[in-house]
Homo-oligomer: A and B are copies of this chain.
Amino acid sequence: MSRRIRIALDAMGGDKAPDMVLKGANIARERHPEVEFILYGREEQCAPILAALPKLAAVTKIIHAEEIVSNDMKPSIAMRTLKKSSMRLSIDAVSKQEADCIVSAGNTGALMATAKFVLGTIQGVDRPAIASFFPTEHGECVMLDLGANLECDADNLVQFAVLGEVFARTALGMVKPRVGLLNVGSEEQKGHEEIREAAAQLRAAQLPIEFSGFIEGNDIAAGVADVVVTDGFTGNVALKTAEGTAKMVASFIKEAIQSSFMAKIGYIFSRAAFQKLRARMDPRRYNGAVLLGLDGVVVKSHGGTDAIGFAAAIGVAVEMVKHGFLSTVRSEFEILSKHLKKTPESAELAAVQ
């Protein structure tokens, strides 16, 4: 029997915690029989819920955590003052190698700050990034950074490209993901300094990465790239703009359907098709932002999600552990650092030859 995957859960993070955390874990347990859970949170709240889920209870232990990081708490304050919070203890578990990964639906900023402090970053990564994935016309794509780093230099963007590419390969099972840099045009001279420099580095680096060059905003949903690399400000705006637009179109469709008696009859016939459409775009399917670049697997579930969404986030963590996300990233960054160090020498050699 292969080794079990041990998942640390922040039982108290999220609007509907701890109920949705435990019910989400129960769904994930069915999908991934190889998992076991360590649940950090208020025992008096978690124990009764767990008692009602005997199959989950068989693979789960609760470790009491008195403190809770609230959503409006400043990340630095949470990190410095709450050393016994459910969030902190679940991250500590990864650091102590008692768990292979951690999933939390709590305060994103606090999770990033605490995880960075406790786990550190992978050698070669200057700053960790937040990544997520969502549907495109031809499947799905990963985008990063989504807000951890508002301003990024060329090195940051190159590192994000590596992190996102390995995530797409290991967690999403993509074979040769195409990496695109988000820009305002596809021509080489477009965009600002940092982005052009990042493109030049990605073209020059001898990484096993399929770099597609610059892509534009409309290329994201068109599925032109599998990994979309950008700074945290632009990524955050693009992600939320896409969400807002999808919601607006959905509300337009709803209005159209309700606009006439005939349209309502039409909907009765089309209902099954529309339900399939809704399932395809269900945000719960795409729940689970990942904190990439940390020396540990950290998955952030949306705070407002339900058990189904939380189970999807656990699923992302399981895939990352199962397919060796961390070890693959480490070896990619070794190649990158060797290459970047060798660049001046190689250039000289090339000039001599």
Contacts and interface: CB of A to CB of B under 8 A. Distances in A.
Q: How large is the interface on A (under 10, 10 to 19, 20 to 34, 35 or more residues)?
A: 35 or more
Contacts of A221: 241, 244-245, 247-248
Contact of A269 (B220, B242, B262, B281): B262
A302 to B, nearest CB: 13
A246 B184 CA distance: 19
Contacts of A238: 217, 237-238, 241
Interface string A275-309: 01100110000000000000000000000000000
A147 interface: yes
A121 interface: no
Interface stretch (A157-165, A250-258, A334-342): A250-258
A243 B217 contact: yes
A52 to B, nearest CB: 36
What is the total number of copies of this protein in its complex? 2
**Residues of A contacting B: mostly:** helix
B242 A242 contact: yes
A270 interface: yes
Nearest to A135: B248
Nearest to A232: B184
Contacts of A233: 184, 191-192, 234
B192 A217 contact: no
A236 B217 CA distance: 8
B234 A256 contact: no
A347 interface: no
A257 B270 contact: yes
A81 interface: no
B191 A217 contact: no
A218 interface: yes
Given A257-B273, A270-B270, 9 more contacts: A150-B184, A150-B191, A216-B237, A217-B236, A218-B247, A219-B244, A230-B237, A233-B234, A266-B267
